[in-house]
Structure 1
Amino acid sequence: MQRKLMWMCAAAVSCLTAVSAQAQVTSPPPAPVDPAVAEFKAARDKISADYKTDRAACDAMKDNAKDVCVEEAKGKEKIAKAELDQKMKPSDGHARKVAEAKVEVAYSIAKEKCDDQKGEAKSACVKQAKADESKGMAEVKAMKK
């Protein structure tokens, strides 16, 4: 009786091991890809590739021209990402983010361009850039109402 019981246990373990191994080998079929998700990822990849290309073009430049170029490349990427979000999921919030990104990018580029100037001219340039940013942000806040 004891031998028969041991044989049955061994057979059961062997059977369970085979079933377990088979379950591990078979993988579930891949989930269907939503076309909108694929389009979104492709657009994000294109934005990143465009940024890398724009950024690489800046490497040939020197001094502040290079800094301005880098800010423009970063800004173009930031705006493109915000616009993509608005395109994929239109909403007032995304529209505000696009407007806000444009204001922030314009300010960072203007401020970087001010670095070419010196003294009073630079100070006036920065002050003007800040005033333009404040005006733009006020318009963005007005969009919330």
Structure 2
Amino acid sequence: MYIKTVTAIALCAASAFASAQTMTKSEYDAAKDRIEMNHKTAKKSCDALKDNAKDVCKVEADGKEKVEKAELENKYKATPGNARKVEEVKADTAYDIAKEKCEDQAGDAEKVCKADAKAAHERAKNAAKGKA
């Protein structure tokens, strides 16, 4: 009786895990293509901007693509490693954007801005790795 119960629980858990991954390879490929198409559109919209605003726009577009691809990969193959990768990519993207925005400032203000961005990046990376 005990073994049958344990076996039934194990089968239910395996079934639940299998149904959690509902994305097929073709759905994954289609989603990846959409992300790449949206990225191209976002980068084209940056062409109308000038100076650092254009640079920020491009970094934001690149970062959004990286985050969406990491999230897609985690959705397709949900693992603790992929979940951690999503958080790390988000931290890196936020840092890249913050650094680019700091370039609108000059002198000490720019240095302080970049130092603050780096400190926030380190905190976010440590949080993604499970460190406090």
TM range (shorter): 0.7 to 0.9
1:103 matched to 2:85: no
Q: Deviations over 1:87-117 (max 9, x none)?
A: 1111100000000000000000000000000
User: For residue 15 of structure 2, what is the aligned residue in structure 1?
Assistant: none
Which protein shows a greater Rg? 1
Alignment map for 1:128-143 (pairs within 5 Å): 128-142=116-130
1:126 matched to 2:111: no
Higher relative contact order (CA 8 A, sep 6+): 2
1:44 matched to 2:70: no
Alignment map for 1:19-38 (pairs within 5 Å): 36-38=24-26
User: For residue 53 of structure 2, what is the aligned residue in structure 1?
Assistant: 65
- Paired AA for residue 98 in structure 1: V
CA distance in 2, matches of 1:95, 1:37: 19
Long gaps (5+) in structure 1: 1-34
Deviation of the 1:37 alpha carbon = 1.1
User: Counterpart of 1:79 in 2: which secondary structure?
Assistant: helix
Deviation of the 1:140 alpha carbon = 1.3
Q: Give the share of equivalent positions with the same residue, in percent.
A: 50
User: Counterpart of 2:88 in 1: which secondary structure?
Assistant: helix
CA distance in 1, matches of 2:26, 2:126: 36
Long gaps (5+) in structure 2: 1-22
Length, aligned pairs only: 109
Deviation of the 1:48 alpha carbon = 0.2
User: For residue 25 of structure 1, what is the aligned residue in structure 2?
Assistant: none
Given the alignment, which residue of 109, 116, 127 partners 2:104? 116
**TM-score between both structures, scaled by the size of structure 1:** 0.73
1:79 matched to 2:59: no
Post-superposition, which runs of at least 4 consecutive aligned residues in structure 1 deviate over 6 A?
none
